[in-house]
Chain A
Amino acid sequence: MNDQYKYTPADFKSDQEVKWCPGCGDHAILSSVLKALPEVAEALKYKHERFTFVSGIGCSSRFPYYMNTFGFHGIHGRASAIATGVKVANPKLTVWVPTGDGDSLAIGGNHFIHAVRRNIDINIMLFNNEIYGLTKGQYSPTSKLGKVTKTSPFGTIEHPFTPGELVLGARGTFFARSVDAEVGLTKDCLVAAAKHDGTSVVEVLQNCVIFNDKTHADFALDKETRAEHTIVLKHGEKMVFGKNRDKGLVQIGMKLMVVKIGEGGVTIDDILTHNAHEPNPGVHMMLVNMRYPNYPVALGVIRDVPDHTYDDNFYDQVESVKSKRAIRCVDDLLHSGETWEIK
């Protein structure tokens, strides 16, 4: 009876009116998520009631209200901590964390890196619009250096985080990146994230139409721009990109380089093959750090390395201690160790 895991996007959509601004990238992400969940349910044999969304604060964090799943709208920055508790309490749940660059990299930076370090099996969807939207336009930890915002009227003087670099630095096992408008790619990344055991981080480069419009436009404005200035990585496939798929990446020493296939004797054999399962983060680190205009921006599943998860280790330990136990109930516990009788 495989039917019991068959759902449609409508099964996951709540009756709440979606209140993001018209033109906000979040609408497209919501659509990707609604498409991804039926696929996840079928592939992993998850019933509807196992899906749980946990968020913090910010535009992105309103997400759970728009899902007809279990949902918890928490407090600013703490979503991954709350989600960790949910997953440890009931490891059968599939736990999703919609979050933003302010929520998870500023106020929640500590919880974010520790969730990644523990490798607890939750799926973090990081909507990166490089701005604070809900508080109306202040710079975020991913805003570009020099960015003029309401709290940086003369430009920021802070270096931004690259989320992928942070994930790798925290020994992350899964990192993927997409662009809000690429609904299909985002969906694929989310399905891959769900299939990965451990903390999965999917960064979606998202446009805030009101406070930071076109922040990703240089490389992501439209299909044509994206074809030329982004590269969609697939495990086991050559790292090629461009409208005509005539450009590729090669490694020269400790650096990646963009080359044109067919020019200067470069053949397809010279082009790097993407290995998302490689534990050594060296190439993955170079990939997440590729920036326009010198490089295409890397999209797709960049890293997907199997490793022990926190929740598996957690329950393995509980079971192993239980199997050797002498204490089976509270009465046993109270009488354990030194006792004496007064007659």
Chain B
Amino acid sequence: MDKSHVVELDDVVIRFSGDSGDGMQLTGTLFSDTSAFLGNGISTFPDYPAEIRAPQGTVSGVSGFQVHFGSRKVSTPGDFCDVLVAMNPAALKANACWLKRGATIIVDNDTFNEKHIEKAGFQTDDPFRELNLDGYNIVRPDITTMTREALKEIDLDPKSITKCKNMFALGICFFVYHRPMEHTEHYIDTKFAKKNPLIATANKLALQAGYNYAANTHAFANTFDVQPADLPKGVYRSISGNQATAWGFIAASEKSGRPLFCGSYPITPATVILEELAKRKDLGVKTLQAEDEIAGICTAIGASFAGNFAVTTTSGPGLSLKSEAIGLAVMTELPLVIVDVQRGGPSTGLPTKPEQADLYQALWGRNGECPLVVIAASTPSNCFDYAFRAGKIAMEHMTPVLMLSDGFIANGSEPWRIPSMADYPKINPPIITKAPEGGFMPYRRDPKRLARYWALPGTKGVEHRVGGLEKDFLKGSVSHNPANHQNMVNIRAEKVARVADFIPKQEVMGKKSGDLLVVGWGGTYGHLSTAVSDLQKEGKSVSLCHFNYINPLPHGVREIFKRFRKIVVCELNMGQFANYLRMNFQEFEYLQYNKVQGLPFTVTELKEKFNSLLTE
């Protein structure tokens, strides 16, 4: 056996791809978890079809999972991959465009037969030539055959045996990138050993067989080492945006003492938030899977009226359905958090693909003068913080808060240094416990925040009525008085505007003046910050101003903007935030960089754009 040469690398991107039933999401997750335990920086992104099981062997049925791991903090799943694992010709075809020049391609050679090649829609019998893959390092082990061979002693049906081939592929990758197998073996044991010990044994054998195959053959001239990243000390876990959102709400519930209620209707890519909350009955979380999107938010509004911290979760089409009820929450001035995990639109659009095109809808998609707080999370793990802050603002300012996430950060995951709840502030909702002298006035307000008081049904002496009709500015009784309406419109707007006094000032990443200011918001943070920091390392005069608070905008924006020669607003829509900034700060000129392809930005294209703006 020849010793392979060991090469040290800063970072590596691997894309696992196969048929949607091939277990590629699990394979990718196991690789990424293993790398996280080694202390690497990690970012992952699953790319799966909207169909659960699209026709086998076709391009539309390809499911992928990309892992980016490095010896430094990693903020994006990577634009292009160093290694593509393709379990069939369709997977190769669907992902060839994401290869770095000269990348390694590992395919299951057994599937490169006439039938599968034709199913994948190739015109010739040589997919590699057809895709112009000369100059790539193509490795073609017979994965299916070798898996079957390795498991021939196992008394399992052929279908279950063949299913283990993803572990064979994972074993290969573990060898090539010097990863230990203990975590995966442990996972397999806990997952399968109880149900069927034979399946656990089979998967572990396949994993080992893949590892041995890579070690014993000359298929890989080199193996690679990626050293641990210099990450802050602490206990870490892996977390996805949707999971972090759910947990952030539970944290806000704990810190406010208000029970958490979530009324939602399943919708991709937001459903996981409801699922995560439904698991947490141990913490007293109440979830109600409603009959539709409207009932989702209406049960939440009812729960808020009755004194719970209420949330509802959805994606764009569901947000459209909730519009009228959001207006009701604005009018009744009740705390409520609405999460929109954005996906490609309009209409049903691209359910599993990220986009940032719901911003206008979030800001203005309701009848009447109907302001609410809009905030946007920007990484998988900070969904926790923004869900928490959404709850804090909603309950302390007595207003609905719309939290924007997107399919990219919601499904993406990263290592997260586990915070201590002792470091999070208490949340103080303005609950009234007994009738004040002179009687309770439902629309009397706290003079600082302009929040009205929360009088919970069941509390003696504060019986009152609220509703969607315009209310008298103090008594809360129905009022059609013209001056009262003007007064109420003004005060609802002012209440939301004052939230700006309670949120952090806008910050800038990099120097506070220069040639180019990159502006972004929400889920594009990983790509924008990576591109900007790469250019900063090259000595370019570029900084990043990334927004999490959208309405109201934080203080300090104008002071930042005026110190740059050029401003470019980058977003995954046709320029919604750019127009919003034009409306708010008319004195600046905003260049735009927009992409609406159901895909995140690539760092490469961003750097090209910024470089060209810097030299123009």
Cα separation A54 to B467 with both chains bound (whole Å)? 9
Q: Within 8 Å of chain B (Cβ to Cβ): is A252? A: no
Q: Within 8 Å of chain B (Cβ to Cβ): is A231? A: no
Q: Tell me which residues across on chain A come within 8 A of B280, comparing CB atoms.
A: 327, 333
A110 contacts which of B237, B281, B291, B461 (Cβ < 8 Å)? Answer: B291
Q: Within 8 Å of chain B (Cβ to Cβ): is A90? A: yes
Known A-B contacts A85-B300, A85-B303; the reply to A75 vs B236 at CB < 8 A is no
A65 contacts which of B233, B294, B325, B465 (Cβ < 8 Å)? Answer: B465
Task: Establish whether residues A89 and B302, one from each chain, have CB atoms under 8 Å apart when the complex forms.
Answer: yes
Q: Within 8 Å of chain B (Cβ to Cβ): is A226? A: no
Known A-B contacts A110-B295, A330-B421, A340-B36; the reply to A89 vs B467 at CB < 8 A is no
- Contact digits for A84-97, partner B, Cβ 8 Å, 1 yes 0 no: 11111110110000
Q: Tell me which residues across on chain B come within 8 A of A84, comparing CB atoms.
A: 288, 295, 299, 302
Cα separation A138 to B460 with both chains bound (whole Å)? 41
B424 vs chain A, min Cβ distance (A) = 9
Cα separation A246 to B18 with both chains bound (whole Å)? 79
A338 contacts which of B238, B301, B328, B458 (Cβ < 8 Å)? Answer: B238
Q: Within 8 Å of chain B (Cβ to Cβ): is A308? A: no
User: Beyond the given A90-B307, A338-B237, could you list 10 further A-B residue pairs with CB under 8 A, ordered by the A residue number?
Assistant: A70-B457, A71-B467, A73-B467, A73-B469, A78-B325, A82-B298, A85-B304, A93-B457, A110-B292, A327-B282
Task: Establish whether residues B464 and A340, one from each chain, have CB atoms under 8 Å apart when the complex forms.
Answer: no
Chain B interface (Cβ < 8 Å from any Cβ of A): 33, 36-37, 39, 228, 231-238, 247, 250-251, 254, 259, 261, 263, 280-284, 286, 288, 290-292, 294-295, 298-308, 310, 324-325, 327-328, 332, 417-421, 456-469, 477-478
A72 contacts which of B247, B295, B307, B465 (Cβ < 8 Å)? Answer: B465
Q: 27 A–B contact pairs at CB < 8 A? A: A49-B458, A54-B302, A67-B465, A72-B302, A72-B332, A74-B298, A75-B328, A81-B291, A81-B294, A81-B298, A84-B299, A85-B303, A85-B310, A86-B305, A88-B286, A89-B306, A89-B307, A111-B291, A321-B281, A322-B281, A327-B280, A329-B283, A333-B280, A335-B237, A340-B36, A342-B228, A342-B417
Residues from 108 to 148 in A contacting B, C-beta threshold 8 Å: 110-111, 114
B281 contacts which of A47, A69, A70, A318 (Cβ < 8 Å)? Answer: A318
Task: Establish whether residues B261 and A89, one from each chain, have CB atoms under 8 Å apart when the complex forms.
Answer: yes
Known A-B contacts A86-B302, A111-B291, A330-B250; the reply to A74 vs B283 at CB < 8 A is no
Known A-B contacts A75-B324, A78-B294, A327-B282; the reply to A88 vs B467 at CB < 8 A is no
Q: Tell me which residues across on chain A come within 8 A of B251, comparing CB atoms.
A: 330
A309 vs chain B, min Cβ distance (A) = 14
Cα separation A78 to B305 with both chains bound (whole Å)? 14
Q: Tell me which residues across on chain A come within 8 A of B261, comparing CB atoms.
A: 85, 88-89
Q: Within 8 Å of chain B (Cβ to Cβ): is A230? A: no
Q: Tell me which residues across on chain B come within 8 A of A68, comparing CB atoms.
A: 463
A69 contacts which of B39, B250, B463 (Cβ < 8 Å)? Answer: B463
B466 contacts which of A73, A89, A318 (Cβ < 8 Å)? Answer: A73
Q: How many A residues face the partner with a CB closer than 8 A?
A: 60
Cα separation A339 to B417 with both chains bound (whole Å)? 9
Q: Within 8 Å of chain B (Cβ to Cβ): is A292? A: no
B282 vs chain A, min Cβ distance (A) = 4
Task: Establish whether residues A52 and B247, one from each chain, have CB atoms under 8 Å apart when the complex forms.
Answer: no
4 nearest A-B residue pairs (beta carbon): A73-B467, A85-B302, A85-B299, A325-B282
Cα separation A75 to B251 with both chains bound (whole Å)? 31
A1 vs chain B, min Cβ distance (A) = 16
Residues from 150 to 184 in A contacting B, C-beta threshold 8 Å: none
- Which residue from chain A places its CB closest to the CB of B33 in the assembled complex? A338
Cα separation A111 to B236 with both chains bound (whole Å)? 43
Known A-B contacts A72-B466, A341-B236, A342-B233; the reply to A89 vs B291 at CB < 8 A is no
Q: Tell me which residues across on chain B come within 8 A of A48, comparing CB atoms.
A: 460, 463
Task: Establish whether residues B465 and A93, one from each chain, have CB atoms under 8 Å apart when the complex forms.
Answer: no
Cα separation A292 to B302 with both chains bound (whole Å)? 39
Task: Establish whether residues A314 and B234, one from each chain, have CB atoms under 8 Å apart when the complex forms.
Answer: no
Task: Establish whether residues B465 and A71, one from each chain, have CB atoms under 8 Å apart when the complex forms.
Answer: yes
Cα separation A284 to B456 with both chains bound (whole Å)? 39
Q: Tell me which residues across on chain B come within 8 A of A49, comparing CB atoms.
A: 457-463
Q: Within 8 Å of chain B (Cβ to Cβ): is A334? A: yes
- Which residue from chain B places its CB closest to the CB of A117 in the assembled complex? B291
Q: Within 8 Å of chain B (Cβ to Cβ): is A50? A: yes
Q: Tell me which residues across on chain B come within 8 A of A321, comparing CB atoms.
A: 281-282
Cα separation A55 to B465 with both chains bound (whole Å)? 11
Residues from 312 to 337 in A contacting B, C-beta threshold 8 Å: 314, 317-318, 321-322, 324-331, 333-335, 337
Q: Tell me which residues across on chain B come within 8 A of A93, comparing CB atoms.
A: 306, 457-458
Q: Tell me which residues across on chain B come within 8 A of A314, comparing CB atoms.
A: 286
Known A-B contacts A50-B458, A322-B282, A333-B250; the reply to A64 vs B302 at CB < 8 A is no
Q: Tell me which residues across on chain B come within 8 A of A331, comparing CB atoms.
A: 420-421
Cα separation A96 to B299 with both chains bound (whole Å)? 15
Q: Within 8 Å of chain B (Cβ to Cβ): is A255? A: no
Task: Establish whether residues B463 and A70, one from each chain, have CB atoms under 8 Å apart when the complex forms.
Answer: yes
B465 vs chain A, min Cβ distance (A) = 4
- Which residue from chain A places its CB closest to the CB of B419 in the assembled complex? A334
Q: Tell me which residues across on chain A come within 8 A of B291, comparing CB atoms.
A: 81, 110-111, 114
Which of A69, A73, A81, A88 has the largest number of chain B CB atoms within 10 A?
A81
Cα separation A71 to B306 with both chains bound (whole Å)? 11
Q: Within 8 Å of chain B (Cβ to Cβ): is A16? A: yes
Q: Tell me which residues across on chain A come within 8 A of B304, comparing CB atoms.
A: 85, 89
Task: Establish whether residues A329 and B421, one from each chain, have CB atoms under 8 Å apart when the complex forms.
Answer: yes
Which of B39, B234, B294 has the largest number of chain A CB atoms within 10 A?
B294
Task: Establish whether residues A89 and B250, one from each chain, have CB atoms under 8 Å apart when the complex forms.
Answer: no
Cα separation A14 to B295 with both chains bound (whole Å)? 29
Q: Tell me which residues across on chain A come within 8 A of B39, comparing CB atoms.
A: 340, 342
Task: Establish whether residues A73 and B234, one from each chain, have CB atoms under 8 Å apart when the complex forms.
Answer: no
Cα separation A78 to B463 with both chains bound (whole Å)? 22
